Structure 1
Amino acid sequence: MSSPQAIVVFDIDGVVRDVAGSYRRALADTVEQLTNGAYRPTPDEIDDLKGEGIWNNDWEASRELVYRYFEAQGQSRRNLEVDYTELVAFFQSRYFGNDPERWDGYIADEPLLMSKDYLDSLTEQKILWGFFSGATRDSAAYVLQRRLGLLSPVLFAMEDAPGKPDPTGLFATVEQLYTEESLPVFYVGDTVADMQTIVNARMVRPDRAWFAVGVLPPHVSAASRQRIEQYSAQLKAAGAMMVLKNVEELTSEKVLMTRSNQY
Structure 2
Amino acid sequence: MKRLAAIVVFDIDGVVRDVSGSYRRALADTVERFTQNAYRPTSQEIDLLKSEGAWNNDWEASQELVYRYFEAQGTLRSSIDLNYQELVTFFQSKYRGTDSEHWTGYICAEPLLLEPAYLDSLTQSGIRWGFFSGATRASANYVLEKRLGLQSPVLIAMEDAPGKPNPAGLLDSVQRLENEPEQMTPVIYVGDTVADMVTIERSRTLQPDRIWIAVGVLPPHVQQNAEQTHYVNTLFQAGADVVLNNVQELTPEKVFELTRL
> Normalization by structure 1: what TM-score?
0.97
Tell me the alpha carbon deviations over residues 68-106 of structure 1, each in whole angstroms, 9 at most, x when there is no partner: 000111111011111001000000000000111210000
Letter in 1 for 2:193: T
The CA distance in 1 between the partners of 2:259 and 2:246, in whole Å, is 21
- Could you tell me which residue of structure 2 aligns to residue 77 of structure 1? 77
- Could you tell me which residue of structure 2 aligns to residue 154 of structure 1? 154
Deviation at 1:132, TM superposition (A): 0.1
Deviation at 1:259, TM superposition (A): 2.2
> Normalization by structure 2: what TM-score?
0.98
- Could you tell me which residue of structure 1 aligns to residue 23 of structure 2? 23
- Could you tell me which residue of structure 2 aligns to residue 34 of structure 1? 34
The CA distance in 2 between the partners of 1:136 and 1:34, in whole Å, is 22
- Could you tell me which residue of structure 1 aligns to residue 194 of structure 2? 192
Determine whether 1:3 maps to 2:17: no
Deviation at 1:182, TM superposition (A): 2.1
The CA distance in 1 between the partners of 2:11 and 2:86, in whole Å, is 27
- Could you tell me which residue of structure 1 aligns to residue 172 of structure 2? 172
- The residue correspondences of 1:170-249 to structure 2 (distance < 5 A) are 170-178=170-178, 179-180=180-181, 181-224=183-226, 227-249=227-249
Deviation at 1:219, TM superposition (A): 0.4
Secondary structure class of the residue paired with 1:107: helix
Tell me the alpha carbon deviations over residues 158-179 of structure 1, each in whole angstroms, 9 at most, x when there is no partner: 0000000000000000000013
Letter in 1 for 2:19: V
- RMSD across aligned positions (CA): 0.8
The CA distance in 2 between the partners of 1:167 and 1:222, in whole Å, is 31
Gaps of 5+ in 2: none
- Could you tell me which residue of structure 1 aligns to residue 127 of structure 2? 127
Q: Percent identity?
A: 64
**How many residues are treated as equivalent by the alignment?**
259
The CA distance in 1 between the partners of 2:207 and 2:73, in whole Å, is 45
Deviation at 1:39, TM superposition (A): 0.2
The CA distance in 2 between the partners of 1:229 and 1:77, in whole Å, is 34
- Could you tell me which residue of structure 1 aligns to residue 104 of structure 2? 104
Determine whether 1:44 maps to 2:44: yes
Deviation at 1:258, TM superposition (A): 2.0
The CA distance in 2 between the partners of 1:259 and 1:160, in whole Å, is 28
- Could you tell me which residue of structure 1 aligns to residue 260 of structure 2? 260
The CA distance in 1 between the partners of 2:145 and 2:64, in whole Å, is 32
Letter in 2 for 1:184: P
Letter in 1 for 2:11: D
Deviation at 1:250, TM superposition (A): 0.6
- Could you tell me which residue of structure 1 aligns to residue 250 of structure 2? 250
The CA distance in 2 between the partners of 1:18 and 1:260, in whole Å, is 30
Secondary structure class of the residue paired with 2:18: coil
Deviation at 1:222, TM superposition (A): 3.4
